[in-house]
Structure 1
Amino acid sequence: MSNQLLSRALKIVGFFALSFALAVPAANAASAKSSSKRAIVKKPHVAKSTASKKVVSTRKSVRFEASAKVARTKRPSIIQALIPAIPSFGQMAGLHSAIDPLDLKSSVALVIDQDTREVLFSKNDHAVLPIASLTKLMTGVIISGARLPMDEMITVTQDDVDTEKHSRSRLSVGATLSRGEMLHLALMSSENRAAHALGRTYPGGMATFVSLMNAKAKMLGMHDTSYAEPTGLSSRNQSSAQDLAALVNAAHGDPVLRELTTSPGYQVAVGSRTLQFNNTNRLVKNPDWDIGLQKTGYINEAGQCLVMQTKIAGRKLIMVFLDSAGKLSRLGDAERVRRWVETNPVVTDQKLKLSASDKQISG
């Protein structure tokens, strides 16, 4: 019996010894294979330290891979950048080819002395272009002049949602504010749903409101102007710098419009939240500026737009800038005009009058 047990024990030991002997080479082979892979991955790094030409090649490859990674993480922005920008009406008309002594980025500009009506500066001032949210200034003129109850509550509905440009709004459907608050947001922060709600809830409805906008334009002598809706999202809202100067002059006579358009910020309670809205024109917070009334605007077809009533070097001026090339360039144009007026306080339009047909860049 003891011999049988010993024989079995030897067989078991032999089995485990054989298994171990077979496992060790397999493990070594796997380890060698893994080491070989790691060695292959490291080859470019070895090459970088030994051959200068390969260093350049490897670095370019690394930069390319990094760029590819950025492209993958920011693909929507890259795609958007590749899509051609929609040209403005002014660009399509060639208005940007006109040059002027101040090198303005706006293709249309007009500066008028509000008291004497003297034209200090003009550039393509009769061109008729889309005016974007400058439209809201006329919306304000109609609402303020109607003497409607400013404490009447107005609710944003689906009808106020922008289906043309699909612009966003912080006023969700169902939000309820007073008419005065809606007017404040429309004029100060260019809130589209607020402006549309003001027109929609006007006595007689939107059609009546738009007809009143056009009638007021005619009454002010704005013969180049037409309105299709109260927000400015439609490119069919069009005007000229001359007409807009007349509108700014009329609107400046209304203390409500002066206050609301130059308000730096405003808070409103929407449900359980308090929302902070700010002025779309940063110049209202600039102590170097004395602004009595202003309005900004932008859609692709109109470019960046700005109108202001301001006091510079003791003179009350009306400024109009249409179809500016960049988001900040309309403010830069205003700064350029301000510096020019301060250094040339008695200059007249005989020195700086220019239209698109006077002088153009060749080609």
Structure 2
Amino acid sequence: MIGKFKSGALLLLVMVFVTTAQAGTGPNLASVNAAVARVGDDNLVFGKNADRQVPIASVTKLMTALVVLESGQPLDEALTFHERHTPAANNAYTRIRVDSTLPRSEVIRIALMSSENFAAYTLASNHPGGYDVFVQAMNEKARALGMSGTRFVDPTGLSVLNVSTASDLVRLVNATLKHPEIREYSTTGYYRAHFRNPRYSLSFGNTNPLVHRDSWGVELSKTGYLSEAGRCLVMVSDMNGEKVVTVLLDSLGTRSPLGDSGRIKRWLASGETGTVAKAARRYEQEKNASYAVADNGPATVN
């Protein structure tokens, strides 16, 4: 149901792009899989392969943060960065020193805004019951949210076996928005963390350039990248006076999700579909072909 808006003009605009979406048209996007929805509504305004199950890379960390916050563990508790008990599935370079400590709140912050993998691992390792119980809790939360196409095997997203769908991630975003800490931490532009044992400091930057642009009004953000997952961006931003959830999965280059965000914003405002580069279109064709060969359609999670 369309909510009540302050102006008749905005209501007319909403009706225009809802009609456009229902007609099966939408913006031309470089991302192979995508979903667009209004904040608080799991129904899509626009979807592109929105139910296809694909690797989501570090977008995983949104669920990691959600499980940590809902566990009720104190945010001011100092966590120790112990060596991993198992090797990371992919390159997990970090500047954080083993055995140093940082408050849980700051560990969540750098995991979200800078996609720090050692931070996400440490959050899971300090969960009541340990790492494996934490991953189990991630999957239980996914089921509770109705994310039927989602499966997690680690808290970082380094594993290609962490999979979801664009439509499922809309549900996750709407759930995480209930936590002001996730909104704040994920949109922090720059942060300097002060570690102990030993004492040292590290600076971290947000992996989404749009958080620095006031015109976008970004309220939640998470990027992700693996070669198998492509470039990913999940975001809540201001689009033409309305808060919109954007999920973009599997883009060719670092700027493709940013370009897609702009194309979605213009489409919502005017119906303009936009164009994408030939290289991105070829990439999309190749990935669609590989998905078809791999499973002939979305996989099923048992």
- Settle same-fold status: TM greater than 0.5: yes
Q: Quick check: 2:236–2:244 contact (8 Å CA) kept in 1?
A: yes
1:178: Cα distance to partner?
1.2
Which of structures 1 and 2 has the larger relative contact order (alpha carbons within 8 angstroms, sep 6+)?
2
Deviation at 1:160, TM superposition (A): 6.6
Q: Cα distance, 1:120 vs. partner? A: 2.4
Q: Distance in 2 between matches of 1:163 and 1:223?
A: 26
| 1:139 has 2:99 as partner | no
- 1:119 correspondence with 2:44: yes
Q: Hey, what's the Cα distance between the residues in 2 that align with 1:290 and 1:141? A: 22
Moved more, 111-120 or 221-230: 111-120
Letter aligned with residue 309 of structure 1: V
Relative distance call for 1:168 and 1:162 in structure 2 (3 A) is farther
Distance 1:159 1:117 in 2: 36
- Structure with max Cα Rg: 1
Aligned-partner residue type, residue 131 of structure 2: M
- Structure 2 CA distance for partners of 1:101 and 1:115, relative to 1, 3 Å: closer
Distance of 1:117 and 1:274 partners within structure 2? 40
Match of 2:243 in 1: 316
Deviation at 1:117, TM superposition (A): 4.9
Amino acid at match of 1:245: V
Residue matched to 1:286: 213
Q: Which residue matches 1:232?
A: 157
Q: Is the 8 A contact 2:42 2:174 kept in 1?
A: no
Name the residue aligned to 1:214. Answer: 139
Q: State yes or no: 1:339 paired with 2:266.
A: yes
**Structure 1 segments unaligned to the other structure (5+ residues):** 1-99, 346-355
**In structure 2, what is the Cα distance between the partners aligned to 1:273 and 1:285?**
26
Change (3 A) 1:258 1:221: same
Aligned length: 250
Question: Any residues of structure 2 matched to 1:60-99 within 5 Å, and which?
Answer: none
Tell me the distance in 2 between the aligned counterparts of 1:299 and 1:180: 26
**Partner of 1:273 in structure 2?**
200
Q: Please state how far the C-alpha of 1:310 moved relative to its aligned partner.
A: 1.6
**Which structure 2 residue ranges, 5 or more long, are not aligned?**
1-24, 273-283, 290-302
Deviation of 1:197 after TM superposition, in Å, equals 0.5
For residues 261 and 42 of structure 2, the distance between their equivalents in structure 1, rounded to whole angstroms, comes to 19
Instruction: Give the letter for the 2:186 counterpart.
Output: T
* Secondary structure class of the residue paired with 2:215: coil
Change (3 A) 1:272 1:117: closer
Greater helix proportion = 1
TM-score normalised per structure 1: 0.65
Inter-partner Cα distance in structure 1 for 2:238 and 2:221: 12
**CA RMSD in angstroms, aligned pairs only:** 2.2
